[in-house]
Amino acid sequence: MRHRRGRPSLGPVTSVLWLRRDLRRRDLPALGAATEATADRTVLPLFVVDPALAGGAGRARLDALREALTAAQESFDGALVVRVGRPEDVVPQVVREAGAGSVHVSGETTPYGRRRDERVAAALRDQDVPLVATGSPYAVTPGRVRTSAGDPYRVFTPFSRAWREHGWRGPAADPPGVRWVRRVESEALDDALGTDPGAGAPAEAASAGAAHDPATPAGEATALEAWAEFLDDGLAGYADHRDRPDLEGTSRLSTALKLGTVHPRTLLADVAAHPAAGTEGARTFVTELCWREFYADVLWHAPGSAWADWRDLGLRYDDPAADPDAAAALDAWRVGRTGYPFVDAGMRQLLATGWMHNRVRMVTASFLVKDLHLWWVHGARHFMTHLRDGDLASNSHGWQWVAGTGTDAAPYFRVFNPVTQGRRFDPDGVFVRRWVPELRHLPGARAHEPWTTPDGDAEGYPGRIVDHGAAREEALARYRDARG
């Protein structure tokens, strides 16, 4: 693949802007490169629905993609072409139809994305058309931040320091004089992505609290509106409120970052220019962006780390495929019927909305691995299926952090207590009652321990499937055995 310094010579031909994780019009370096590559500045924006990726996505992720593509169609003045098929087949075909002389992309960093781009580049070479990568979905492209010895970082804190010292460019300027190509046929989104947006959430989860839960914006315009509101109302208090699922203390931009409808470089520039830039809230927000970049860097250097974690191979996990009790526990966790309200509220929020608060993600993940003794991959796959913001690097490495394995893992002996976590971060039980209607008759913090109240199960809430204290001791014993 050729990078920007190898840009093809100017000519009176169209260039193709192949969008992937960069479904936006602003702050898009690849658009500038595509515009500059032709004498008359004509560009054809293209998105390819890749069956290899779309086939593994749940309804929530496809709905988010639909929203982002609908917004992108408007941003690109109706010129966005959508096609379905293998990119190595579709991209060369669109190049022929458009008479294009180059294809421009934001550089890809995931294992599959890198392999895919190599296949497309090889197919385009047969037409003497280069695939030109400019920029990436990250403020600092994975692989660039290294130790003084030239090695990748394996621990977050030193990576964070080096990442900040490295710095990043400002947002890319909007290229003037772009002319859109409109002579290439596009498929309708309903045909490309299916016609049943929002289908698939269990009725119990969908009816619980979704009507009161704000959506995570996916399209560029709505994401920027949400960002502007967060800057004014949420940034300064972010450090204090980000762990409270009962409050609106987060930016909810994870879906927009995943789809690239906003770029982290834009967010960092806005934070730096904001009056609250010097607050603890602003510093914490930048650190959270850095976690996303760290996990992408880990995946860049260790492509196999997404699903295969060598450090947990010695652990003894229960097997849902062979153990009926383990299978039942996994099913109860998936649908939010474990008997632990804070866990169940989060799992139902996920099924109903395609999103879960980050603090609750950690608690539900800990419960699966250290209370139910199930392999973290079962949970990571469930999350990737149902999350609107399902990001391979952040999801898989976040799960490994909770499991106490992998790069920069939390200590293996850290086991989140679902009751303590609920009382601390949802002190009045607001979040639990929003998503677990069977507990709405219990006031205040009583909703976190319904088994202590005579009528706690009066509305059908299930009993606890495990005893947390005993499960914790069992988990610690297994970890000690695995460590020799």
Q: Which residues are catalytic?
A: 288, 291, 310, 358, 376, 399
**Distance from the Cα of residue 440 to its chain's centroid:** 31
| Residue 243 · residue 361 · CB < 8 Å | no
DSSP category for residue 266: H
390 φψ region: left (φ > 0), alpha (ψ -120 to 50), beta (else): beta
Burial (0-12, 13-18, 19+ Cβ within 10 Å), 316: exposed
- Non-local (6+) Cβ contacts of 46 within 8 A are 16, 17, 18, 19, 80, 81, 82, 83, 91, 94
Count helices and strands (H / E) in the chain: 21, 7
| Residue 100 · residue 93 · CB < 8 Å | no
- Non-local (6+) Cβ contacts of 58 within 8 A are 200, 354, 384, 385, 386, 387, 390
The residue among 352, 355, 384 whose CA lies nearest residue 203 is 352
* Tokens 């002389």 sit on residue: 101
Helix (H, G, I), strand (E, B) or coil at 2: strand
DSSP category for residue 367: I
